[in-house]
């Protein structure tokens, strides 16, 4: 059974102080530049959520900051590579970024461009195929595409 529940925030729901954000970035192998710190303050605040580069750019502008679109894209990719975010590929030209890096699955509703977390234990896979020779399965990510029910006629 799949449960639609809100993700619980991390233990620390306050936005980390800039010094803590700098340390988080350093520990992830990233230099804490002004732009990275600004983006980290928006993303690493303990809330589990999903963003696109465009939605994050809108948040940055709303916060009265300026970071170029290219820097936003690059920073999202750097944070993902460093393990601070998780990329969820909807199709080969569209991804969202998840602040919850624990393994879990998703519902995706295209109409509202909304991703909803499914706890990992709520999805049971009965059998996986064998990986091709010389390979092993690294991970299984399930994205269940949903839509609103239509009213019966």
CATH number of this structure's domain 18-91:
1.10.10.10
Q: What pLDDT, on the 0 to 100 scale, is given for residue 150?
A: 86
Instruction: Count Cβ atoms below 10 Å from residue 79 Cβ, excluding itself.
Output: 24
Break the chain into its structural domains and give their ranges. 18-91, 101-146
CA pair distance 105, 88, nearest whole angstrom: 9
Instruction: Indicate whether 1 pLDDT > 50.
Output: no
Q: What pLDDT, on the 0 to 100 scale, is given for residue 152?
A: 74
- HSE-up of 152 (CA within 13 Å, CB side)? 0
Mean pLDDT score of the chain: 87
The pTM of this model reads 0.80
- 8 Å CB contact between 105 and 118: yes
Instruction: Indicate whether 68 pLDDT > 90.
Output: yes
CA pair distance 67, 108, nearest whole angstrom: 28
Instruction: Count Cβ atoms below 10 Å from residue 130 Cβ, excluding itself.
Output: 8
- 8 Å CB contact between 122 and 2: yes
Residue with tokens 């919850």: 100
> 3-state DSSP helix/strand/coil percent for the chain, to nearest 5?
30, 20, 50
The percent of residues above 70 in pLDDT, for the chain, comes to 86
The crossing angle, in degrees rounded to 10, of helices 69-81 and 34-43 is 70
Q: What phi-psi label fits residue 137: left (phi over 0), alpha (psi between -120 and 50 degrees) or beta?
A: beta
CA pair distance 2, 8, nearest whole angstrom: 16
Q: What pLDDT, on the 0 to 100 scale, is given for residue 16?
A: 59
């Amino acid at each position: 059974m799949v449960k639609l529940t809100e993700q619980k925030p991390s233990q620390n729901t306050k936005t980390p102080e800039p010094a803590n954000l700098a340390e988080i970035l350093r520990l992830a192998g990233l230099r804490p530049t002004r732009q990275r710190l600004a983006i980290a303050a928006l993303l690493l605040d303990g809330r589990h959520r999903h963003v696109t580069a465009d939605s994050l750019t809108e948040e940055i502008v709303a916060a009265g900051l300026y970071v170029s679109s290219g820097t936003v894209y690059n920073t999202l990719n750097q944070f993902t590579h460093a393990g601070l975010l998780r990329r969820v590929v909807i199709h080969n030209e569209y991804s969202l970024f998840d602040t919850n890096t624990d393994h879990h699955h998703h519902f995706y509703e295209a109409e509202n461009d909304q991703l909803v977390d499914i706890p990992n234990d709520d999805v049971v896979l009965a059998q996986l195929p064998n990986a091709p020779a010389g390979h092993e399965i690294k991970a299984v990510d399930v994205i269940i595409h949903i839509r609103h029910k239509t009213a019966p006629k």
